[in-house]
Amino acid sequence: MKTLRTLTLIAGVLAGSLGAQTVQAATAAPVKNVVLVHGAWADGSSWSEVIARLQAAGLHVTAVQNPLTSLADSVAATRRALAQQDGPTLLVAHSWGGTVISEVGTDPKVTGLVYIAARAPDAGEDFVALSQKFPTGPARAGVQDHDGFTKLSEDAFLKYFANGVDRKTAEVLYAVQEPTAASLFAGRTTAAAWRSKPSWYAVSKQDYTINPDLERFLAKRMNATTVELDAGHLSLVSQADKVADLILTAAGQHE
């Protein structure tokens, strides 16, 4: 009887080891395609510095021009970009864009998800209610509604949304910010791809748009490989090198 129990224990340990190796292989498999999804009050140009670094590393990069008119429209735009990739693809999102990749990331072509100071809702979750459990960032006070579409005031954008970004660059980003449907933030996903796909998360410790503790909660909930950056909400601009490094790691390009 003791021998049987010993054999059973050994078999369990071996199975666990094999399982761990399978997960490690899946997360480390090199990926050449990366699709980037921007968030609210931004456009695809916010990824410019990251794109240059990823391309220099030999990756094929596509930045979605997210319409920000509805969750369905943004999901459709990302699905179109994903359909054009010629193989396994890493999905990367900033801010509200995390909602989109949480929905789209269940596609079998997607190997992993990278969240940069991003939302990461569970399926059907009321993310507005969840976020209200954490202190609201001062950037929100600058939201201006114009006929159902919102923009950030210049003061709020430069001081709180783009904190840590040099002034001239921040002014350009303010000029190209995409009007965002006021109803966008209440949209609910039908899936949570991070529950089944390897995930990475970059927390912005100086974020005045999404509370850093909310970001930490989301990263922990998805069991993401997590880094903390001493940056504001636009870490993809102010610390493009570190954001690119995280993406390259997720793409299997770094150890």
Residue 137: the pLDDT is 95
Residue 139 lies in a domain: yes
- Could you list the residue range(s) of the whole structural domain that residue 52 is in? 31-250
Domain of residue 135, CATH code: 3.40.50.1820
What is residue 30's predicted lDDT score, i.e. its pLDDT? 86
- Confirm whether 215 is domain-assigned: yes
Task: Tell me if 7 is assigned to some domain.
Answer: no
pLDDT values of the chain reduced to their tens digit, one per residue, 255 residues: 333 333 333 333 333 333 333 233 334 468 999 999 999 999 999 999 999 999 999 999 999 999 999 999 999 999 999 999 999 999 999 999 999 999 999 999 999 999 999 999 999 999 999 999 999 999 999 999 999 999 999 999 999 999 999 999 999 999 999 999 999 999 999 999 999 999 999 999 999 999 999 999 999 999 999 999 999 999 999 999 999 999 999 999 875
Q: How high is the pLDDT of residue 196? A: 96
Long-range CB contacts for residues 44-52, cutoff 8 Å, separation at least 24: 45/173, 45/176, 46/94, 46/173, 46/234, 46/236, 46/237, 47/94, 47/236, 49/236, 49/237, 49/240, 49/244, 50/236, 50/240, 50/243, 50/244, 50/247
How many domains does the structure of the chain reveal? 1
Residue 119 lies in a domain: yes
Is residue 55 in a domain? yes
The answer to whether position 42 is within a domain reads yes
- Domain contains 11: no
Q: Is residue 13 part of a domain?
A: no
The model carries a pTM of 0.88
User: Considering only CA atoms, which of 245, 249, 251 is closest in space to residue 229?
Assistant: 245
